[in-house]
Amino acid sequence: MSDARILSAEDCEALLARAHAFARGGGDTTIGVSSWWQGELRWARNRVALASDRRNIGVTVTRTVRGGHPGYVSTNQIDDVSLEAAVRAAERLSRLEARMGRGLGYFPPQPAYERPESTIWSDATPGLTTERSGEVARALIAPAEAKGLLSAGYLEVRVAAQALLGTDFPELRAGKHAFWHHPYVRWTQAYCSTTVRDPSGMASGWAGASSYDWARIDPAALAQRAVEKCLASRNPVALEPGRYTVILEPQAVADILEVLVGSFTSREFPEAGIDGPWRLGPDEALQLWRTKLGLRVVDERVTISHDLAHPDLGILTEPHEYPGPVTWIDQGVLTALAHQLPTAIQRLKGHHSLRGASGYRMSGGTSSVEEMIRTTKRGLLVTRFSNIRLLDGVSLLSTGLTRDGLWLVENGQITKAVKNFRFTESPLFVLNAIEQLGEPVRVFRPMRGEGEPLSPAIVPPVKARDFSFTSTIDAI
């Protein structure tokens, strides 16, 4: 299905061709174009606060006149005159400083490979019309209102597309594929999350989901869940800070893993001796830095993997990303780190770049959350975390808050709602203190910028020992 709310492949091709034609003065040109549409709905206090329909375009022009420096400008206008003005402006910047050209030369073409088709497109997502979203909003709000609670939330459907075409190193081109040529890709995504609060402000519950496919999001279930959490959060008691066994719902697991999955980027850093979680130490004999690749870094029940081409996990926007699945942590052992193309060519076995784990899947176990509760003598059940900040880049020690539902579990039963805590803990510690794992499920991922693709996460609930809560907070 074509969607006229964004630029089509043909539109983008024509636009790139037009923009390229404006280049004067030789050298190289790279033009990128992106286009997005978002249908959005915000509600609060049980009423829709704003419904919006927004779209924009982004064009980035990089011009390197012969002998010049790359000049970079961006615009959101795609008429000829604006594009030409942007190209001229980039050329003007390019002439401000000189750079050596590539000289003469011959380089062999890149190895050609089949780029996997990656579609995270669902017609259901742009198919959520304004009229239909009105009904959805009422379905989301009604359960809370019926209980005398206040619902707030956000629903968004988006379609977006991007393409990029450059002229650099024509001799390296292999068929349609080159690192400066990102063929047209488009995607859909949908977010829905809701917070239900007691009018007294003394209880709050949350539920959220995100997927490329609106049809996979069940608004009624989300509303129900948020209402239940809110009701169960009433009359919280303050507990002493300290170490607790925690039962982390999948959302909380994803929240605290964020800094860990972000650390799988750049194998080059630990290999260059730069401080970080994956640097091991210098190897004097070989004159290189050893990394923790191959070492067990977390509990052996943990496997964290990713398949860029799988619609549940992400989207390929650049053709030279690693085309196959990747396992970052395999049964507790660190097995992969993202790297640049030259690193693979010069030192490793492949010839690909490996993007970081923007989307990922963590392995699980067979325990349900209910079972985790049943088997807990004393512990805390955590809905999600908020306001997380990394404190130490080596240990990944982070601080953050519990939010929207925290309960005390005693002798196998939830006994009380608990006031929120600030925690000081590292995801590496948590993954080394696992007691039980549940079935992995898709969770809500933090929103990214307008038009950017979704990076999904599939994680299990986790029961872990000795989670460090450092102070109580008043916020609900």
Partner 1 sequence: MRARRAGLLALTLLCWTVPAAGQTRFSWPDTTVNLAAYASVEECQAAVSRVRSTLATQEALTTGHWRDTIAFAPAELTSPPPPPVTATARGCLTRFAAADSVPLTEFDYLVPLYLAAGWRDRLRTLVERRLAAIPPKAEGELAAVIDTLVSMYLAQGAWSGYGHAPQFALTEEVVTRYLPRVSDRVRRLKVYFRVMHANAADWVMDTAAIRRLAAPALPVLDSLTERERARLEEEFGLAGNGDNFAERVYALLNVTTGKWAFLDALRRSTAEFVKLKRDNWARATGQPPETYLLGMPIGERAPELRGDIWLGRSDSAPRPRPGRVSLVVFIANPDCLGPVVSDRMMYDSCAENLVPLRRLAQRFPALEVTLVAQSRGYFAYLKDSVTPAREAELTKRWLEAYGVHAALVMTATDFWRLPDPDGRRIDRDAPNRVNYSFGKSWADGAKNRRAFLVDQDGIVVHVRDINRYSEEEFGEMIEILLARGGGRS
Partner 2 sequence: MSFSRRDLLKAGLTATALMAAPRPLLARFGRRWEPAPPIQDPRVKDLALRALEAARAAGAAYADVRLTHTRSRSFLTRVADVRDGEQVVVGARALVDGYWGFASSPVWDVEEMGRLGREAVHQAKVHALGPARAVELAPVPAVRDGHWVMPVAIDPLEVSPLEIADYLEGLRLFVSRFPDFIPLAPSYSCQVQEKAFASSEGSYCTQRVYRSEGDVKLQLKQNGQPVYDGALDTLTPAGVGWELFKGQPIREQVRRLMEDMKDEWKLPEKPVAVGRYDTVCDAWTVARLLDQTLGRATELDRALGYEANAGGTSYLTEPLAMVGSYQAGAPTLTVTANRAEPGGAATVAWDDEGVKPDEFALVRDGILVDFQTTRESAGWLKAHYAKTGAPLRSHGCAAAPSALEAPLTHTPNLTLAPGRGTRDVDELIAGMGTGLAVKGGALEMDFQGQSGLGRGRVFEVKRGKQVARVVGAGFLFRANELWKRLAALGGPAGRRRYGLGSSKGEPAQHTYHSVTAPPAAFEQLTVIDVLRKA
User: Does residue 96 belong to the site contacting partner 2 (CB under 8 A)?
Assistant: yes
Alpha carbons within 13 angstroms on the beta-carbon side of residue 429 total 16
Closest CB to partner 1 among residues 97, 370? 97
Binding mask 175-194 for partner 2 (x = CB under 8 A): ------------------xx
Span interacting with partner 2, options 50-58, 117-125, 175-183, 337-345, rule CB under 8 A: 50-58
Contact criterion met (CB below 8 Å) for 205 and 225: yes
Report d(CA 124, CA 136) in Å as an integer.
14
Radius of gyration of the chain (CA): 25
User: Does residue 424 belong to the site contacting partner 2 (CB under 8 A)?
Assistant: yes
Report d(CA 119, CA 116) in Å as an integer.
10
Query: Which of helix, strand or coil describes residue 80?
Result: helix
Number of residues binding to partner 2, judged by CB under 8 A: 87
Residue 330 CB, nearest approach to partner 1 (Å):
8
Ordered DSSP codes for 153-207: EEEEEEEEEEEEEE-S-GGG-BTTBBTTEEEEEEEEEEEEEEEEE-TTSS-EEEE
User: Does residue 88 belong to the site contacting partner 2 (CB under 8 A)?
Assistant: no
User: Does residue 54 belong to the site contacting partner 2 (CB under 8 A)?
Assistant: yes
Span interacting with partner 2, options 109-117, 130-138, 278-286, 338-346, rule CB under 8 A: 130-138
Question: According to CB under 8 A, which residues from 377 to 406 bind partner 2?
Answer: 386-387, 389, 391-392, 397, 399, 401, 403
Indicate which single residue of 412, 422, 428, 439 sits in contact with partner 2 (rule: CB under 8 A).
422
Tokens 């085309």, residue located: 323
Ordered DSSP codes for 233-290: TSS-B----EEEEEEE-HHHHHHHHHHHHHTTS-THHHHTT--STTEEEEETTTTEEE
Chain positions contacting partner 1, by CB under 8 A: 1-4, 8, 10-11, 14-15, 18, 64-68, 73, 75, 77-86, 88-89, 92, 95-111, 169, 172, 271, 286, 288, 290-291, 293-294, 333-336, 341-342, 345-351
Query: How close are the terminal C-alpha atoms of the chain, in Å?
Result: 44
105 binds, among partner 2, partner 1, none (CB under 5 to 8 A by kind): partner 1
Question: According to CB under 8 A, which residues from 204 to 233 bind partner 2?
Answer: 204, 206
Closest CB to partner 1 among residues 35, 193? 35
Residue 162 CB, nearest approach to partner 2 (Å):
14
Residue 459 CB, nearest approach to partner 1 (Å):
23
289 binds, among partner 2, partner 1, none (CB under 5 to 8 A by kind): none
User: Does residue 73 belong to the site contacting partner 2 (CB under 8 A)?
Assistant: yes
Contact criterion met (CB below 8 Å) for 278 and 440: no
Angle between helices 9-21 and 80-94 (to 10 degrees): 50
